[in-house]
A and B are shown apart, each in its own frame.
Chain A
Amino acid sequence: MEDLAQPILNGILLGGLYAVIAIGLSTMFGIVKFVNLAHGDLMILGSFLSLVLVSWLGINPFWTILIVVPVMYFVGFIIQVFLLNRVLGKGLEPPLIVAFGLSIILQNILLLIFTPDARSLMTPLAVKTIPVGEFLNIPAVYLVDFLAGGAVICCLYYFFQRTYMGRAIRAASDDEVAAQLMGVNTRNIYAKAMGIAMMTAGVAGVLVGTTFTFYPHTGPQYLITAFGVIVIAGFGSMKGTFVGGLILALSQILGAHFIGPGYQLLSGYVVLLIVLAVRPQGLFGTV
């Protein structure tokens, strides 16, 4: 039991990070019924943005969140206004293809600027652990990831439930025509929603950067992680996203523990496929 406690603890903490990676994708799907295939790459864009700021200003990566998050809001807003809003309502393929194209463009621009080298955001926390009891050690970065992930999801939940703007976004997504008749500019609302989704991607990007190494082409890998979380949870459920993150991360870490480190991602996918086959709408989803 003692040697199982550490992987389970790591899995739970990592789950918080997975949830924050997924929450932006889930939000956009909930509001615009649009799967942003560029989500992972936009998140990695956040990581590189933070990297640039760290090397310019020489500050702790966590402070760069203050700049990365607003910048990502505008990135999201602009993408929605100039690209995605123009293909809304033209069927299912066009928005997907635009996002797919965007993903490839981002990857290759990052590749041209930053070369394919591995990068990471160094923090003093990276090597620290917090001992708990005799056997357990909490990696400090993972703990930060978990707490930040929980905080982001709580903030988002509060935003959508309590604020005027959040309610307006939900109204526009519930019934677009009715919202338009009431004088709501739904396109503008969608752009703001995309901006907010990208803010969460910005936070996720900085957290991923401080926890793992990243490359210009790691975006799709995190897109699949995010998608896995959402598929396990069921689309559109915020609390579900958190639990989905925990399940995916736990199945990965436990898979690595029992079978071997090479099988970490694979065991996550297997659990995912089982959920898909048994309960396609996800654990918390309704059909």
Chain B
Amino acid sequence: MGKLLYKSRFYVLGLLVLGLATVPVWGTDYLVLFFLLFCLYLAMSQMWNLLIGYSGLLSLGQQAFIGLAGYTVAVMCNYYGVYIWLSVFLGGLFSAILALFMSLFIFRMKWVYFGIGTWIFAEALLLWFSNWEYVKYGMGLFIKPTPPPSMTEIYYGSFFMGVGSVVLVYGILRSKLGLGLMAMRDDEEVSETMGVEVFRSKLYCFLIAAFMTGLSAGVLYVFQIFIQPYKAFAIDWTVKLVFIVIIGGIGTIEGPIVGAFIYVLLSQWLAEYVSVSMLILGAIAIAVILLAPKGIMGTLQEKLGFEILSPRRK
């Protein structure tokens, strides 16, 4: 069973991607919405996974990039009439620039200090935007692109982000950078003496993650139409990403895929009871940490004895 699965893994993956690519053709409107959210959460959680699982960076401030990118889209579209997908790209770019600026302050910090440092940045941005007349304070902005993109267009934007994030992380991990990252994760000091440029590798990951998170958030806000600082810069974003990665399996490429699916399923199922779904997610995350700390995919990989998307060369 395991062997058969191992040999056919790329066919199975190919079929899944094909299925995902053709949702607007065969799926109902609801399914399109479901997989759109799935792809975007997959992309964002994959990036958080890259940070924590491979670079050892505990970021609790991903909402800084999400909010900034969302606002970039809104401002570019509304005030300057920039083409919608170009403004999404600019959102990603600004997020990466913000990450570079943040790194001046927080890259000296380790672990939890780093996490709280990123969080404080996000909170500062929240306060800044809710006091800024240019973006209409806390009232928020409606994103009005001309011409408005169709649902299919937005879906393919998110599909591109979802699949792209997996391919990107897979590519990074199989490159020289990834090899260094995995050595760092196992033992930072030893890897540094062996010639891994720890600081630079971490910085690259942080910038890439900020860029991709910003892009995904841009697509999400094109879909959501309305942006408001208290939602856009809320810690809730990071909470979701943490739960997705923990439940799926920290430090595995497949983990965020499973985690994002479970999250979107649960949040759609309990859409009217947001607090109940967050409660359940919190409880699942604690249970996973106590009982199977490697998450669903990490545990499954141990049982099956192989990784579907192995970053290691045979």
Interface residues of A (CB under 8 A from B): 35, 83, 86-87, 90, 92-94, 96-98, 100-105, 107-109, 111-112, 220, 224, 227-228, 231, 260, 262-263, 265-266, 269-270, 272-273, 276-277, 280
Contacts and interface: CB of A to CB of B under 8 A. Distances in A.
B127 A83 contact: no
Given A96-B112, A102-B286, A273-B120, 11 more contacts: A83-B290, A87-B289, A87-B293, A92-B111, A94-B289, A109-B279, A266-B131, A269-B124, A269-B127, A273-B124, A276-B117
A273 B105 CA distance: 7
The 5 closest A-B pairs by CB, nearest first: A104-B282, A108-B275, A262-B131, A101-B286, A266-B127
Contacts of B105: 273, 276-277
A97 B276 contact: no
B257 interface: no
Nearest to A105: B282
Contacts of B283: 101, 105
Given A87-B290, A276-B105, A262 B279 contact: no
A101 B250 CA distance: 15
Contacts of B190: none
B90 interface: no
Interface of B: 52, 58, 104-106, 108-109, 111-113, 115-117, 119-121, 123-124, 127-128, 130-131, 235, 239, 242-243, 246, 250, 275-276, 278-279, 281-283, 285-286, 289-290, 293
B131 A263 contact: yes
A112 B275 contact: yes
Contacts of B242: 97, 100
A35 B239 contact: no
B203 to A, nearest CB: 16
Contact of A86 (B116, B279, B290): B290
Contact of B106 (A103, A270, A276): A276
A35 B105 CA distance: 20
Nearest to B137: A262
B127 A100 contact: no
B120 A224 contact: yes
Given A102-B286, A104-B239, A280-B113, A270 B124 contact: yes
B120 A269 contact: yes
Nearest to B121: A273
Contact of A224 (B104, B112, B116, B282): B116
A121 B290 CA distance: 37
16 contacts: A87-B289, A87-B293, A93-B52, A98-B290, A100-B239, A102-B286, A105-B279, A105-B282, A108-B278, A112-B279, A224-B119, A262-B130, A263-B127, A265-B123, A277-B105, A280-B108
A108 B276 contact: yes
Contacts of A263: 127, 131
Given A93-B250, A108-B275, A273-B105, A262 B127 contact: yes
A287 to B, nearest CB: 11
B128 A231 contact: no
Nearest to A264: B127
Given A276-B105, A277-B104, A280-B108, A97 B289 contact: yes
A35 B275 contact: no
Nearest to A227: B116
Contacts of B235: 220
B123 A224 contact: yes
Contacts of B281: 104
A266 B109 contact: no
B124 A266 contact: yes
